[in-house]
Structure 1
């Protein structure tokens, strides 16, 4: 497998890449906004459009009400989800993706393509290597 990590970056936005502490800090903030139990599942569910809290909870079973509330609050704080109170009795709340979250769609597509190309192969190749070495 080829390792391209030492190749110079030809992207002007990437000057200094990983060596730049400011860029690393921004990258960490972005990853933090997406990491957390259920966040990717919540974002994926909301890609079909706005969803009320109860329907979102049912779609994500077995998530607890407490966990869903906490994750939605974090996603809202990070600008990825918006909360809209509907004028209805009883009170209903709907959640939807923000423009910022929709901006992640190309990155999600790239991650999916990467996973399809390298994800399963990595574990298969490692297992085969262990079997050949008599370690398995």
Structure 2
């Protein structure tokens, strides 16, 4: 696939496949959340993710996870118990983005200045 096919000149980037992909993975934490779920622990609870991400606020993590669920990148499983138990995992759609994240990681390692 060439760049011309992915993001042609004169076309709004948001209307291209490239722009759509970027819209799914943009943001400070989305790729990191996906990476944690793919590489370290396939099912994580909210507070586990919060600890792994460090400085993220409760509100930011909550809204990021809601966006990722709406984009069908993650699956949210809520268990009816007290206290409530909610677990997050990658969906098949989310898993399909992992090779792209792996390539970004490899590129960064090879080209780090």
Interval of TM-score (by shorter of Structure 1 and Structure 2): 0.7 to 0.9
| Cα distance in 2, alignment partners of residues 65 and 40 from structure 1 | 17
Residue aligning to 1:43: 34
State the TM-score, normalized to the length of structure 2: 0.82
- Give the superposition deviation at 1:16: 4.6
State the TM-score, normalized to the length of structure 1: 0.69
- Native 8 Å contact 2:31 2:101 kept in 1: no
Distance 1:58 1:100, change over 3 A: same
- Give the superposition deviation at 1:62: 1.6
Structure 1, 83-92 or 95-104: larger mean CA deviation: 83-92
Alignment match of 1:92 (pick from 77, 85, 92):
85
- What's the C-alpha RMSD, in Å, of the aligned pairs? 2.1
Residue aligning to 1:81: 74
Residue aligning to 1:72: 65
| Cα distance in 2, alignment partners of residues 80 and 66 from structure 1 | 19
- Show structure 2 runs of 5+ residues with no match: none
Residue aligning to 1:30: 21
| Cα distance in 2, alignment partners of residues 112 and 61 from structure 1 | 20
Alignment match of 1:52 (pick from 45, 52, 59):
45
User: Which of structures 1 and 2 has the bigger CA Rg?
Assistant: 1
Determine helix, strand or coil for the equivalent of 2:47: helix
| Cα distance in 1, alignment partners of residues 98 and 33 from structure 2 | 14
Q: How many residues align?
A: 108
